[in-house]
Amino acid sequence: MRVANARFAGAGGLVLLCLAVERLRAPLRYERGDAGSDELFPHLYGALDIDAVVWVAPFAEGPDGFELPPQAA
């Protein structure tokens, strides 16, 4: 949520995609986001295969920032 709150605060119409990683044809790499941080973030190096998308949910910002929808928990 940290990245969503930092980069997309105030943006509307966002959606969250759940992917089946084994269906991706492009390389998926987990890389560090910020210098000095051990937190890893997925980066897809190529096109997103539509058949890899398992479900889509609205990604709404609440009063305390973005929250995961129930199906993502």
Domain assignment present for 19: yes
Q: Residue 42's domain spans which residues?
A: 2-61
Domain assignment present for 39: yes
Q: Report how many domains make up the chain.
A: 1
Domain assignment present for 67: no
Which ranges in the chain belong to alpha helices (H)?
2-8
User: How much is the pTM?
Assistant: 0.78
Q: Beta 53-58 vs 15-19: how paired, if at all?
A: antiparallel
What are the 10-residue block averages of pLDDT along the chain, 73 residues in total?
90 94 97 82 96 94 91 78
Q: How many CA atoms lie within 13 A of 36 on its CB side?
A: 0
Domain assignment present for 11: yes
pLDDT (0 to 100) of residue 51: 97
pLDDT (0 to 100) of residue 22: 97
pLDDT (0 to 100) of residue 11: 93
Q: How many CA atoms lie within 13 A of 40 on its CB side?
A: 5
Domain assignment present for 15: yes
Domain assignment present for 41: yes
